[in-house]
């Protein structure tokens, strides 16, 4: 009975526009799902681990510079300054060690004594 009611009701021009927009949206969604494939570069990370470590190192250095400036401006006591500075320097040392490990794995530098003929 519902089908007869829908068929018997005349469709206005505004209804045709809405119906056409719904069909167009459904077709575009179907095309996107079944025919558009993601590019391999979309799935790859855009920053390497080394890039992230270098950015972190730079951030720590900037924070150390800002801390020194604020200490000289009188914002921190000497003990607070030393505590924060030491914590940042330890963090910087850890990041530098990670950078060293990352670059060693990339460059594969030989370690140990040099061969006799190389001296």
Q: What is the DSSP string of 16-35?
A: HHHHHHHHHHHHHHHHHHHH
C-alpha 56/C-alpha 65 separation (Å) is: 14
Residue 115 phi, psi (nearest 5):
-65, 155
Tokens (6 digits) for 23: 């069909």
Q: Averaged over 82-108, what is the pLDDT?
A: 91
pLDDT at 63: 97
**For 31-83, how does the pLDDT look when each residue is reduced to its tens digit (9 = 90+)?**
888 887 777 666 666 778 888 999 999 999 999 999 999 999 999 999 999 99
Helix axes of 78-107 and 49-72: crossing angle, nearest 10 degrees: 160
Unique residue bearing structure tokens 């005349």: 10
| 101 neighbors 118 (Cβ within 8 angstroms) | no
67 versus 110: which is more confidently predicted? 67
Contact status, residue 53 vs residue 98, Cβ threshold 8 Å: yes
2-14: per-residue pLDDT in tens?
444 455 566 777 7
pLDDT, position 1: 45
Determine which of 17-31, 46-60, 103-117 has the lowest per-residue pLDDT on average. Answer: 103-117
- Classify each residue of 88-102 as buried b or exposed e, where b means 16 or more C-beta atoms within 10 Å of its C-beta: eeebbeebeebbeeb
- Return the pLDDT at 10: 66
Q: Has this prediction a pTM greater than 0.75? A: no
Q: Percentage of the chain with pLDDT > 90?
A: 46
């Amino acid at each position: 009975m519902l089908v007869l009611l829908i068929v018997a009701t005349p469709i206005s021009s505004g209804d045709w526009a809405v119906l056409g927009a719904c069909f167009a949206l459904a077709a575009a969604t179907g095309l996107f799902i079944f025919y558009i494939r993601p590019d391999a570069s979309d799935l790859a990370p855009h920053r390497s681990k080394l890039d992230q470590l270098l950015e972190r190192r730079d951030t720590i250095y900037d924070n150390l510079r800002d801390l020194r400036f604020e200490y000289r401006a009188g914002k921190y006591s000497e003990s607070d300054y030393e505590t924060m500075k030491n914590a940042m320097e330890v963090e910087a040392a850890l990041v530098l060690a990670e950078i060293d490990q990352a670059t060693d794995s990339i460059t594969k530098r030989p370690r140990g004594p040099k061969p006799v003929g190389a001296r």
